[in-house]
Amino acid sequence: MSYVLYDGDCPFCSNLSNRISSLIKDSDILFFPFNSFEGRELISKYEIKNIDSVIYIDNQERIFLRATALLTVCKSMKFPYNLFFIFNIFPNYFLNLVYNFVAKNRHKI
């Protein structure tokens, strides 16, 4: 089983999580807010510190953060959304700059 942890107090994050979860091809990815019981259990289990971004934990228990997390989830989405994974050709520092810009302005979006 794979998991996506997100900021449930952020309307933008919650809305995006709901939309993405409806586009997942299979039901092997569960979405939980950070402050939910399940979210807190996963954060404790994987000893995740300094939660300031979306977190994806795959079925091999690898942890992905920020843009890498979102793009990795895109691989499991239905066509044509799975094509967003192609953005992994860009360096992580650039992808995370874009991610951080959106995250910083998410309450205005």
What sign does the CA torsion over 43, 47, 50, 53 have?
Answer: negative
| Domains in the chain with CATH codes | 2-104 (3.40.30)
pLDDT under 50: residue ranges of the chain:
none
What pLDDT was estimated at residue 107? 77
Residue 97 vs residues 12, 54, 68: alpha-carbon distances, Å: 18, 14, 12
